[in-house]
Structure 1
Amino acid sequence: MRWVYVALGLGAAVTLVPFVWLIRSALMQDAQMFVAPPEWIPDPFQWSNFTEALTAQPFGRYFVNTVVIAVISVLGTVVTCSIAAFSFSRLRWRGRDAVFAVLLSSIMLPYAVTLIPTFVMWQELGALDTIIPLTVPSWFAGAGGGVLNVFLLRQFFLTIPFELDEAAYIDGASPWRVFWTVVMPLSRPALIVVTIFTFIGTWNDFLGPLLYLTDEESYTLSIGLASFQSMYITQWGYLMAASAAVIAPIIALFFFLQRYFIEGVTLTGIKN
């Protein structure tokens, strides 16, 4: 058993190398960053990279924009995907399994195939340079990558004993009441997993804001990071420092919800 922990520790150490490289690069001058053999300890520590990077662009505004988009997307995804998953797992209606199979088949459709038609649609609706194309799809279960979330929640809902639903129906509860008072409270781990996945996907999204946002006041953090790169020069110290600051909320969110995340992934697909 001891060797198992040693192997796991070595594997974890390997996966941390990119993160360590990011932090040490954020505290170095550009000339020191790419010397061979590589230096792992900055000399001297370039703490000014963080202050100068975060003030070189209006990252405060970018942060607010990103948080607004992420919160709206998380709320829409959790609400609509859970409703769809409840219908596919707890309700009986004709053609349910066929519709679910068609929904899952949409996963095989590459994002690039729908990219241009979707852009043209939002252009015709006059929604370009707004957060509408980045947030509204999350309020339609199955759109914006929500199919996997519907599948995950459906599998988790199937693990909840159906006897609880039957007892609620006998007491006169409606399907909506069963959904809100029975299924949702028991599905907190799975809902937290969907929340984490959606938040990370929205927080790191680069292509969506790049396509739909043109006003600098509407930029997100991912677009702000790209501003440190150009055709002729890349400000590596600023880029690494800003990247470390941007991923800090993601790391904090994961550690804060780690127990629920692991529990939700572990229990998904285990029935009764």
Structure 2
Amino acid sequence: MQTNLISKIKDIKNNFVADMKDSNKNIRRKNKLKKFLVSFFRTFLIIGLSFIILFPIIQQAIWGFHDPSQVNNPAVIYIPEKWSLLNFKVASIALDYGKALFNTFRISLITMLIQIFITAIAGYAFARLKFKWNKILFVFVVITIVIPPNALMMSRRNYFTNIGLTGNELALYVLAFFGMGIRSGIFIYIFKSFFEGLPKELEESAMIDGAGVFRTFWNIMLPNAKGAIITVGLFAFVWQWNDSYYTNMLQVGSNMPLLSTGLANFIENVRGLLLKPEMVQLMGSDYSKIVEYHTIVLNVAALLAMLPLLVMYLFVQKNFVESIERTGIVG
């Protein structure tokens, strides 16, 4: 009888262990299925978004390699029957690409450096220095973000006309130096938020060593604001690169070729270019009245203007993502 009882206990134990194993297997299967569904959905979503974003760019790039004679060929949709770089050559000539690229890069770089320095000083002052009307002045900084640039266009243009800087790239540098450049209010807000997050012990230790306000900012605070500097620098560079509003308002593009102003007036420029006898001879026909071809060359010109930014982003992608995380920018 005792033997039967022991065997029954063993059977119950074995059944319990077997049930637990089956239960664990079911749980593992459910977890694996859940992970698979999440991974599949995430992959599907990423591929879908990538397709939506990249397809127009890839499509226009492929159309850029079409021979101009295939513009009105209904049989050619994506892959060209005859490959050609002629569209890129026409777009480069219409943009005066070499000079426009150099001028745009120079202006964007100088403006970026001025924006970083000035907005960093302003952000540090609002974050750390306690002075009268601090909060009220910062409200005015926020207002510069809210007010549309068009509301200030006439007053700014008249001001720079009166001081004789219209048509001079120096006008863009003056705007940036006085904290009124492209999105300067946002940059001041980024630096203010970043400096507020740094420990006050850094400043206190510097002041104990005899450092003044500017030395503390330059030697202690600014080197620790690498994330904010990278974020502001990239935004300032890209926004100035793509800017056509300020350059047209101040007529900066009237004295030198720029990529942004070249794209804004591209259709008129390319139409006049295609009428020239040497271009007709180069292309083998007159394309000045073919609207579809104007659109293709315009897209090629936009790709040429965007290409340097894409190459630059490939090199700074890691630092840019890290800086966005450190500065806490969302949306």
Query: For 2:62 and 2:253, how far apart are their aligned partners in 1?
Result: 33
Aligned partners of 1:208, 1:106: CA distance in 2, in Å?
A: 15
Aligned to 2:148: 110
Paired residues, number = 270
C-alpha distance after superposition, 1:117-156 (max 9, x if no partner): 1111111111122112222201122443200011111111
**Which residue of 2 is the match for residue 165 of structure 1?**
203
Assess if the C-alpha contact under 8 Å between 1:78 and 1:191 holds in 2. Answer: yes
Structure with greater contact order relative to length (CA < 8 Å, sep ≥ 6): 1
1:229 shift after superposition: 0.4
Give the Å deviation of 1:241.
2.4
The answer to whether 1:248 aligns with 2:248 is no
* Matching of residues 224-235 of structure 1 within 5 Å: 224-230=262-268, 234=291, 235=294
Matched, 1:125 2:184: no
C-alpha separation between the residues in 1 aligned to 2:326 and 2:108?
26
List 4+ stretches of structure 1 deviating above 4 A: 29-38, 214-217, 231-234
Find the counterpart in structure 1 of residue 107 from structure 2: 69
Q: 2:327: which partner in 1?
A: 268
Deviation at 1:204, TM superposition (A): 0.9
Percent identical among aligned pairs is 25
SS at 2:79's partner residue? coil
Structure of higher CA gyration radius: 2
Matches within 5 A, 1:3-42: 3-29=41-67, 32=70, 39-42=77-80
Give the direction of change, closer, same or farther, for the CA distance of 1:39–1:100 in structure 2 (3 Å limit): same
1:100 is the counterpart of 2:138? yes
Q: Which amino acid aligns with 2:49?
A: G
Q: Where does structure 2 lack aligned partners over 5 or more consecutive residues? A: 1-37, 272-288
Q: 1:226 to 1:35 in 2, by over 3 A?
A: farther
Cα contact 1:190–1:261 (8 A) shared by 2: no
Deviation at 1:23, TM superposition (A): 1.1
CA RMSD of aligned residues (A): 2.5
Specify the code of the residue in structure 2 equivalent to 1:122: F
Structure 1 residue 36, shift from structure 2 partner = 6.9
The alignment's TM-score, normalised by the length of structure 1, stands at 0.88
TM-score, structure 2 as length reference: 0.74
Partners of 1:168 and 1:90 in 2: how far apart?
A: 14
Higher fraction of helix: 2
- Structure 1: gaps (5+ residues): none
Amino acid at match of 1:127: L
